[in-house]
Structure 1
Amino acid sequence: MSDKDFVTALRKGLDTLTCFSRVHSRLTLSEVARLTGCTPASARRSLRTLWHLGYLECDGKHYWMNHKCLLVANAYLASRPLPSLAQPLLDGLSERTRESASLAKLLDGEALIIARSTARRSLSVGLGIGSRLPAYCSALGRVLLASLPRSEVRARVRQMTLQALTPRTVTDASEVIARVDEARERGFATSDGELEIGVRSMAVPVFNRAGAVVAGLSIAVRADRMGLSEFIEGFLPMLGRARDRLGEQIYQD
């Protein structure tokens, strides 16, 4: 895209809208400026515009998302085939394993969940469609990074903030890259207590009919339910079968 076609104000507005999350549900002007890297004046213009259009609410100090934002989210889910194709398979996988299953795509340095089936004994409160997981320490993120050329993986990892979310989180860039390399070689990725204490997760890449990776499919268990080796041996075949069935239905996404 040429510079003349790039609308900076639109980018700033979208950056403002996407800085809201479960962690940052109510934000002040200064907090939005910090999260987006904009000046306070620029952040104020974006916030006031989004408020005027009905995408944000404001009490005079704090801003938060309005339900109108669901129009954008629903438009994606309704217009793309992958989430709807995956949902029955996720439900079946969750029912057979009695664990939660997720489908995600790579978005910058995160794995963005686009479909999910939650087991009754859900491991993560608040995890659902639209949730974002750090790619460097999640099984979904690693398996999605593994679909990229190694040079791109190195560049992306070097730009990430490798924060220790638990005592087991790998925060050394070289080791993160090694875990991604391992996922590429094995055809699946794991995360053992790195994202959440006491939780093990495993993910496989989902291919379309052209052989391109279009998403990652994962399942997670409590660490006290089974060891990592037992988890891989017992659940990887089921994960692979669900992945293959989904891939047979996808031409592109």
Structure 2
Amino acid sequence: MSSTDLGNGRNGDRDFIQSIERGFAVLHAFDDKDPNPTLAELASKTGLSRPAVRRILLTLQKLGYVASHGTRWSLTPRVLSIGQHYTSSHALVDSALPKLVEIAEHTSESASLGVLDGTEVVYAARVPVRRIMSINVSVGTRVPAFATSMGRALLAWSPRELVDQVLERTQFQRFTDSTIDNADDLRAELARIREQGYALTLAELEDGLITLAAPVFDTTGHAVGVLACSTSTGRHTPGSFRDLAAKRVVDCAERLSSELGYRLH
């Protein structure tokens, strides 16, 4: 994120506090690829000046959200409290957890709840059974919406305007030879997903990974989340996994939607 991006489209907004945005930009610059960056590396990632990043880090340090280790910095466990407050106050997460346990017990595979955030899906809850992905999947993990069954299940039932915005901002990347890497093919896939009622991907984010997801709707009929289940080609074919998981995942998603007030007309 550059300093230009930080102020983009917000000039003249008297209610916008840019210093808070810059503080979050620094927090978001810590990731699994670089969990202990230097001040200079954070400045490069955010596009902010080194003095500005230094002041932000010292403020976050006094608040208990970051710690210094010589020239390097790291997040502290206190940052987890932000996500914990979201989890404890969000009805979607509370209602989803029993459904995730049901899916995991039925399939003997990991089950997850995902929500859309920009061009990515964020894991909001997860019931792990076994590690089937080389990437570290936990609550808070982000994955690209375009290359995952979770993202596609959310986009397939989202308003066209939102889909257009997401696809315009998506940087299509070929993670494997099977990844759909352009907007036209993805739109066609979203139409197919709507017809069958769930999304299934094979080796698009990672070789050997099979995932299946179904949307969750709120009382207004908006897709607010997605229930998903994942396995590997070492355990299932796409067909056998569909037979095992599709009905259960869709059923759990429909029951969760009903609990959130959604009524199919």
TM-score w.r.t. length of structure 2: 0.87
2:204 match: 194
Q: Which amino acid aligns with 1:122?
A: R
Matches of 1:111 and 1:151, distance apart in 2: 18
Q: Do 2:197 and 2:250's aligned partners in 1 also have CA atoms closer than 8 Å?
A: no
1:54 match: 64
Cα deviation, 1:8-57, whole Å, max 9, x if unaligned, reads 11011112112323233111223223333333333333222212211001
1:219 match: 229
Q: Do 1:105 and 1:215's aligned partners in 2 also have CA atoms closer than 8 Å?
A: yes
Q: Does 1:110 align with 2:96?
A: no
1:122 match: 131
Query: Percent same amino acid at aligned positions?
Result: 30
1:98 match: 108
1:132 match: 142
Matches of 1:148 and 1:19, distance apart in 2: 29
2:219 match: 209
The gaps in structure 1 that reach 5 residues or longer are none
1:158 match: 168
1:84 match: 94
Matches of 1:176 and 1:46, distance apart in 2: 40
Q: Does 1:10 align with 2:20?
A: yes
Matches of 1:47 and 1:176, distance apart in 2: 40
Identify if the C-alpha distance between structure 1 residues 150 and 78 changes in structure 2 by more than 3 Å, giving closer, same or farther: same
The gaps in structure 2 that reach 5 residues or longer are 1-9
1:12-51 to structure 2, matched below 5 A, reads 12-51=22-61
Q: Do 2:133 and 2:209's aligned partners in 1 also have CA atoms closer than 8 Å?
A: no
How much does 1:251 deviate?
Answer: 3.8
Matches of 1:141 and 1:206, distance apart in 2: 12
Over aligned residues, Cα RMSD in angstroms?
2.0
Say which SS state the counterpart of residue 33 (structure 1) adopts.
helix
Matches of 2:230 and 2:123, distance apart in 1: 14
Matches of 2:162 and 2:217, distance apart in 1: 20
Say which SS state the counterpart of residue 168 (structure 2) adopts.
helix
How much does 1:243 deviate?
Answer: 0.9
Moved over 6 A (4+): none
Farther off after superposition, 198-207 or 218-227: 218-227
Q: 1:65 aligns with which of 75, 84, 87?
A: 75
Q: Which amino acid aligns with 1:135?
A: A
How much does 1:97 deviate?
Answer: 0.5
Q: Which amino acid aligns with 1:145?
A: L
TM-score w.r.t. length of structure 1: 0.91
Q: How many equivalent pairs are there?
A: 251
Cα deviation, 1:179-216, whole Å, max 9, x if unaligned, reads 23332333221221011110100111011233221101
